[in-house]
Amino acid sequence: MISSDVIRGYNDTIILYLLLEKESYGYEISKKIKELSDEKYVIKETTLYSAFNRLMKNGYIESFHQKQTHGKKRTYYKITGLGLQYYQEKCQEWKLTKEVINRFIKEEFL
C-alpha cells in the first residue's frame, strides 16, 4: 500500500485530474481513484471531502447541483481555469520531485 504521507501533496492533483476528464462528485471520484490505481490507492472519505473544501476555498473547483430523477442528492464539482493552472504546475513539480527522490533510491532494491 501507499503511505498517506507520500500521497499527501498529491490528493488535490489526483482529484483535479479526474475533474479535468469530466465533472463529477465525491463518491464517483473515490471509485475512479480506486479503479485507476488498481486498488493500490483508496482515498478515505474524510480526506476526499476535506480536499474538496480546500480546492473550493482556493478557487480551483466549483460546485453545482443537478436535478436527479433517482438516487440521493449529489454535489457536483468542476475544475476552474485557476484549477487547471494549478494542476499544470503540479505536473511540472511532480516531474522534478520524481527526479530528486530517485537520486536517493537504490535501484538494486526495486
Partner DNA sequence: TGTCGTACTTCATCTGTCGTAGTAATTTTA
Partner DNA sequence: TAAAATTACTACGACAGATGAAGTACGACA
By CB under 8 A, name the binding residues for a second copy.
Answer: 2-10, 13-14, 17-18, 20, 36-37, 40-41, 87-88, 91-98, 100-101, 103-106, 109-110
> Do 86 and 60 meet the contact criterion of CB atoms below 8 Å apart?
yes
Q: Can you give the length of the chain in residues?
A: 110
d(CA 14, CA 7): 9
Q: Which does 25 bind (CB under 5 to 8 A by kind): DNA, a second copy, none?
A: DNA
DSSP 60: S
d(CA 84, CA 60): 7
Residues contributing to the site for DNA (CB under 7 A): 4-5, 7-9, 11, 25-28, 43-47, 49-52, 54, 70-75
Nearer to DNA, 3 or 108 (CB): 3
Least distance from DNA to the Cβ atom of residue 85, Å = 17
Nearer to DNA, 23 or 84 (CB): 23
Least distance from a second copy to the Cβ atom of residue 65, Å = 26
Ordered DSSP codes for 70-85: SSS---EEEE-HHHHH
C-alpha cell at 61: 473547483
